[in-house]
Amino acid sequence: MIDLVLVYCMATAPDRCLERRQPLEQAVNLIQCTMGAQTMAQDYLRTHPSYTLRSWRCEMDKARESPA
């Protein structure tokens, strides 16, 4: 399974971050995950305007990490 991992931080407190994982069951490969990352990040930011996107990555069968 491929997960899109998006790391968001509070705009007013950039050291306060959260990691959101989006399992992508329809994504066949990491390239498709990469192609969909921007749209998913924008959707979240539209509904959570107090956050900014710090980083993102696509992972395949990897354990959860702490946001950096």
> For residue 64, is it within any domain?
no
Q: Greater confidence, 26 or 18?
A: 18
Q: What is the pLDDT of residues 19-48, one digit of tens each?
A: 999 888 776 688 888 888 888 899 999 999
Q: Can you tell me the distance from the alpha carbon of 50 to that of 64, in angstroms, rounded to the nearest whole number?
A: 24
**Residues above pLDDT 70, as percent of the chain:** 85
| Residue 63: predicted pLDDT | 61
| Residue 27: predicted pLDDT | 60
Buried b (16+ CB within 10 A) or exposed e, 23-58: ebeebeeeeebeebbeebbeeeeeeeeebeeeebeb
> For residue 8, is it within any domain?
yes
> For residue 67, is it within any domain?
no
Domain residue limits at 12: 2-58
> For residue 47, is it within any domain?
yes
Least confident of 32-36, 54-58, 64-68: 64-68
Q: Residue type at 14?
A: P
| The total number of structural domains that make up the chain | 1
